[in-house]
């Protein structure tokens, strides 16, 4: 099964992708995780994308498409964070066609801006293991300390209010064309992105059944 999880920054697509990958026992490919890993390693690719990510801008299509092609698993995958625009969707279609493959579901986690601002503004990430926390909904036992590894919890630079609004604007401008693209292909499924992660996961599983 080949699934794309699509939504604005903070829509929960990363969490849902991880849960779905375990549920279906297929590979999760997270563009954001891959790019942040390259930034942490200070690789040539990481240095190229760092300024885009910290400014809340999208990394150029040619860079991210190359990363996806190198990491995708054609027999089955949960793809999260890509494609983000119509050009990337067409590039992905070309990548899959090389193996006579296509997407089975394009799942859109639909959510409004104010919820996104609350989620991202209060999100904290473990500097060591990357675990996610939220100051209100899913906080750590000890303030500022990861429950899993004891690492320091930090706020990502792209989770401050100004950057969040910029990321929302970029997403809003790009999203209509890609939603229309997958709707025309009969692959689009809209999921209500409000509520906690288990409630959303049940909605996702229901459409896969």
Task: For residues 72 and 158, give the distance between their C-alpha atoms in angstroms, rounded to a whole number.
Answer: 26
Query: Catalytic pick from 36, 50, 91, 123?
Result: 123
Please state, as a whole number, how many other Cβ atoms lie within 10 Å of the Cβ of residue 121: 15
Out of 2, 84, 91, 119, the active site residue is: 84
167 is catalytic: yes
* Cα distance between the two ends of the chain: 12
Active-site annotation holder among 36, 119, 167, 203: 167
CA–CA separation, 135 vs 124, rounded Å?
7
Could you say which of 122, 156, 187, 197 is catalytic? Answer: 156
Largest Cα–Cα distance in the chain? 50
How far is residue 179 from each of residues 4, 61, 116, 171, measured CA to CA in Å? 12, 18, 19, 12
Q: Is 12 within 8 Å of 86 (Cβ atoms)?
A: no
> Known catalytic residue: 156?
yes
- 91 catalytic? Reply is no
- Tell me how long the chain is: 209
The torsion of the CA quartet 68, 59, 83, 63, rounded to 10 degrees, works out to: -30
- Going by C-alpha positions, the residue among 2, 33, 34, 4 that lies closest to residue 17 is 4
Active-site position among 2, 13, 91, 119: 13
* Active-site residue list: 13, 84, 123, 156, 167
């Amino acid at each position: 099964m080949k699934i794309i999880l699509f939504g604005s920054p903070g829509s929960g697509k990363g969490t849902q992708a991880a849960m779905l990958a375990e549920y279906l026992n297929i590979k999760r490919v997270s563009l954001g995780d891959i790019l942040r890993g390259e930034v942490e390693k200070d690789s040539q690719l990481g240095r190229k994308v760092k300024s885009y990510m910290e400014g809340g801008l999208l990394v150029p299509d040619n860079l991210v498409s190359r990363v996806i092609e190198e990491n995708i698993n054609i027999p089955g995958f949960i793809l999260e964070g890509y494609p983000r625009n119509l050009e990337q969707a067409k590039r992905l279609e070309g990548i899959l066609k090389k193996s006579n493959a296509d997407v089975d579901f394009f799942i859109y986690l639909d959510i409004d801006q104010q919820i996104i601002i609350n989620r991202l503004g209060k999100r904290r990430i473990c500097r060591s293991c990357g675990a996610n926390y939220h100051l209100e909904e899913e906080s750590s036992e000890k303030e500022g300390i990861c429950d899993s590894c004891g690492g320091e919890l930090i706020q990502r630079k792209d989770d401050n209010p100004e950057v969040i609004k910029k990321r929302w604007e970029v997403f809003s401008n790009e999203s209509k064309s890609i939603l229309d693209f997958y709707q025309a292909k009969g692959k689009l499924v809209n999921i209500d992105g409000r509520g906690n992660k288990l409630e959303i996961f049940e909605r996702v599983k229901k459409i896969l059944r």
